[in-house]
Amino acid sequence: MTFNALAKILAAASLVGWLTGCGGSSTASTQTPSTATPLSVAQALFAEKALSASGKMACASCHTDDNAHADATGTVLPLGGASLDQQGFRSSPSLMYLASNSAFRFDANGLPFGGFTWDGRANSRAEQAAGPLLDSTEMANANVAAVAQKVRGLSYFSDFVSQFNVPTAPTDQQIYDKLRTALQTYQELDTDYLLFNSKFDREADGTYTFTPAEQRGQAIFNNANQGNCASCHTSRNGPNGERPVFTNFSYAALGLPRNPLIQKNADPTFFDMGLCGPKRTDLSARTELCGQFKVPTLRNIALTAPYFHNASVSTLSDAVGFYATRDIDPGRWYPTVGGVVQKFNDLPVAYRGNVLKTAPFGQAVGAAPLLSAQNVADLVSFLQTLTDDRTAPQGSLTVAR
């Protein structure tokens, strides 16, 4: 168990329920004053399985502490619902390094940026929290009232009330809104979400030296004519020395292979098209956006397998390999039917022109790769330097000048 994980458990243990001397009362003991804080209450709520219809799923079930708050090890796609037998069709992305994200918007060039979740339909972490609470394939609560009833029944409800200024005799909606605020607060206050203490950060601070492979990988990552990774996964410091979070919060259509392990994909007419549906509905008419999904942070990427929104690639090496060989060796990634490779088969034919074709993509079948096998290995080495050290304190949020 890491230092940070142990600290969180000890913090959560200060809550009432835990706080009431194990007496099971929902009221704080007058003899043992509560030591609850907004962070400890919010952390407990994030880990609270009683908030789900099954009583067995929490936010932390799909955003696990050991995997950079992404899916648990060995999970392809999590099962939720009232009986934990309903499969969603998107992986759970890391919730870390999102503090500089903003509400969804189109920039001056009409390009989409920002928002939370794979399709950006939530404009804040508080809005994002509402999705799993009410989604039939996740925590599966029937409505706001069902969520509020569960919150009222928590042994530490009084601490929730005091720490998040819940009004006297609150309505169901008020409890629900305060719950979403608390879940956002947890992500804002817990330093694990912005550790900035990886090998990459220590190299920037002069306390670590990249290996030759890591150094080569960084050069390939930043080379616009080779890896071109930094065009979406920003790797340079911000204007005031802010450390990079390895995403510019933009969107891209990568043309990923269809994942046969997704139950919904058994229906040949079903397609998850990101910005234009089916979870997001306000942009359904913007067909030029079909297939675009949020560019995730690459920090802690070595911990967050399987990869991409549809969990279609199992290893980090294969994820990088997809960029290297998608176009020059499509048979490696897509099925062949009647002798024809079904390229970009997780999008309707009409929208396959939306798929990204800039470097390292865009080459003809059989062409020399922009990324050799050695380049792929070096890139993986560099990406592994982005893993936080969860046994160490939070690093500085900026790079010294």
In one-letter notation, the amino acid at residue 209 is T
Q: Is residue 343 part of a domain?
A: yes
236 and 182, same structural domain?
Answer: no
Contact (CB, 8 A) for 95 and 63: yes
Closest Cα to residue 399, out of 234, 243, 245, 246?
Answer: 243
Do residues 179 and 272 share a domain? no
* Inside any domain, residue 212: yes
Cα 272 from Cα 247, distance rounded (Å): 22
Residue 153 burial by Cβ neighbours in a 10 Å radius (0-12, 13-18, 19+): exposed
Count CB neighbours of 129 within 10 A: 23
Looking at the structure, tell me whether residues 344 and 263 fall in a common domain.
yes
Question: What is the average pLDDT across 331-357?
Answer: 98
| 209 and 178 housed in the same domain | no
What's the gap between Cα 374 and its chain centre? 29
Q: Tokens 């392809």 — which residue?
A: 76
160 in Cβ contact with 15 (< 8 Å): no
Pair (131, 147) in one structural domain: yes
Q: Report the distance separating Cα 129 and Cα 72, nearest Å.
A: 18
Q: What is the DSSP letter of 336?
A: E
For the segment 10-34, the average pLDDT, to the nearest whole number, is 40
Q: Domain for residue 158, yes or no?
A: yes
The reply to whether 158 and 280 lie within a common domain is no
- What CA dihedral angle connects 321, 326, 329 and 333, to 10 degrees? 80
Cross-strand pairs, 250: 113
**Residues 42 and 189 occupy one common structural domain:** yes
Q: Is 292 part of any domain?
A: yes
133 and 209 inside one domain: no
The answer to whether position 401 is within a domain reads: no
Band (pLDDT 50/70/90 cuts) for residue 74 is confident
β-pairing, 293-294 with 336-337? Answer: unpaired
Please tell me the predicted confidence (pLDDT) of residue 62.
Answer: 95
d(CA 40, CA 16): 11
241 neighbors 290 (Cβ within 8 angstroms): no
Report the pLDDT value the prediction gives residue 29, as an integer from 0 to 100.
35
Tell me, yes or no, whether 144 and 32 share the same domain.
Answer: yes
Residue 398, in any domain of the structure: no
Torsion of CA 100, 106, 111, 113, to 10 degrees: 20
pLDDT score recorded for residue 14:
42
Q: How far apart are CA 59 and CA 79, in angstroms?
A: 13
Q: For residue 45, count CB atoms less than 10 angstroms from its CB and return exposed for 0-12, middle for 13-18, buried for 19 or more.
A: buried
Residues 278 and 335 in one domain: yes
The answer to whether position 294 is within a domain reads yes
The predicted pLDDT at position 23 comes to: 31
- Tell me the pLDDT tens digit for each residue of 91-115: 999 999 999 999 999 999 999 999 9
Closest CA to 274 of 245, 295, 259, 300: 295
- Flag whether 391 is in a domain: no
Structure token digits, residue 82: 């009232």
Average pLDDT over every residue of 222-228: 97
First CA to last CA across the chain, in angstroms? 35
Same domain, 218 and 298: yes
Q: Which residues constitute the domain of residue 179?
A: 3-194
pLDDT in tens, 126-159: 999 889 999 999 999 999 999 999 999 999 999 9
Q: Considering its fold, how many domains does the chain have in total?
A: 2
How far apart CA 62 and CA 137 sit, in angstroms, is: 12
The CATH number of the domain holding residue 28 is 1.10.760.10
CB environment 29-43: b (16+ within 10 A), e (fewer): eeeeebebebbbbbb
Whether the pLDDT of residue 6 is over 70: the answer is no
Single out the residue in 194, 227, 248 at which a domain terminates: 194
For residue 219, give both structure tokens: 């050069």
155 and 36 share a domain? Answer: yes
Residue 323 CA to residue 316 CA, distance in Å, equals 11
